[in-house]
A = this chain, B = another copy of it.
Amino acid sequence: MVRMLDIAILGLLMDRDHHGYEIRTQVRDRLGVSANISFGSIYPALNRLERRGFVEAVIATEARGNALSTGSLSGERASLRALRATPGLGRRSRKVYRITPRGREEFVTLLADPATLDDSRSFSLRMALAKYLTPSLRVVLLERRRIDLVERLTEMQSSARNEQLDTYARSVMAHAVKGVELDLEWIDNLLSTERSNQQSFAPEAK
Contact = CB atoms under 8 A, between A and B. Distances in A.
Given A171-B190, A182-B182, A190-B171, A176 B131 contact: no
A166 B35 contact: no
Given A178-B182, A179-B182, A182-B178, A128 B32 contact: no
A33 to B, nearest CB: 9
Contact of A32 (B32, B131, B167, B173): B173
Interface residues of A, number: 35
Query: What is the total number of copies of this protein in its complex?
Result: 2
Nearest to A183: B175
A205 B171 CA distance: 28
Given A28-B159, A32-B169, A175-B182, 15 more contacts: A30-B159, A30-B162, A30-B165, A31-B172, A32-B175, A32-B176, A34-B120, A127-B168, A128-B173, A129-B169, A131-B166, A131-B169, A178-B182, A179-B179, A182-B182
